[in-house]
Structure 1
């Protein structure tokens, strides 16, 4: 089983026809202070299985590592490729919603994906501290 696509985005869905829609792909978050909380993001993957993998159980693990290499969170599960025409690859779209992600420091974060304990892909996320915007004083009206 292979990861054909892996991105972070603001939103994604899969239509009834199986089309994957992705809005607002990003790889950088700007914050004014740390720690910071990112309210919501989605980690999207498109997995493809060889026809010989049909109906076989595969373990999948997604981890987020911080700039120090520490695991922020990990998700584990199983996936079983089903369907597909005989002899054709089997595609599966996966959308993981992440709410209120606490970013304790700036730097390079990394989402890593393991399938059957084999590292398949890595998706970077850069967290950058930017200056606060200046206070805007409303004009005085006489």
Structure 2
């Protein structure tokens, strides 16, 4: 098993033919105040499985703050992995659409990915205060 992609973005679709379409990948959320709410985003995962790994797999995603405390939704799903004997491996796309993600403080966060109980990857991201825009002065 090999994780080929693990990203956070504004939106994603899967064509059904293996094409993964991403819009607006990011690693920071900007907010004027806390709590910060991300209206919508997608966690995108593309994993290549070998023939010997054809079976159900458990995928767990956990969002944690800098102290390691849970800080958001934690999708936990079991997915069937099956493909024809003629292939030695096959890539599978998984899209987790999240809405109204709420963050209680500015700072560093990370999204952890575990497959079958084993930590595979992490994505660091941050929630930052929106910089003040300079005021335009009338002539």
Q: 1:34 is matched with which residue?
A: 34
- Alpha-carbon separation, structure 1, partners of 2:24 and 2:75: 23
Whether 2:42 is the aligned partner of 1:7: answer: no
The alignment's C-alpha RMSD in Å is 1.8
- Alpha-carbon separation, structure 2, partners of 1:130 and 1:26: 15
| 2:18–2:91 contact (8 Å) kept in structure 1 | no
Name the SS of the counterpart of 1:3 in structure 2: strand
Deviation beyond 3 Å, 4+ runs, structure 1: 131-137
Taking structure 1 as the reference length, the TM-score comes to 0.87
Q: 2:98 is matched with which residue?
A: 98
After alignment, is 38-47 or 67-76 more displaced? 67-76
Name the SS of the counterpart of 1:71 in structure 2: coil
- Alpha-carbon separation, structure 2, partners of 1:16 and 1:90: 13
- Alpha-carbon separation, structure 1, partners of 2:30 and 2:130: 6
Name the SS of the counterpart of 1:82 in structure 2: coil
Whether 2:113 is the aligned partner of 1:113: answer: yes
Taking structure 2 as the reference length, the TM-score comes to 0.88
Aligned residue-pair number? 137
Tell me, which stretches of 5 or more residues in structure 1 are unaligned? none
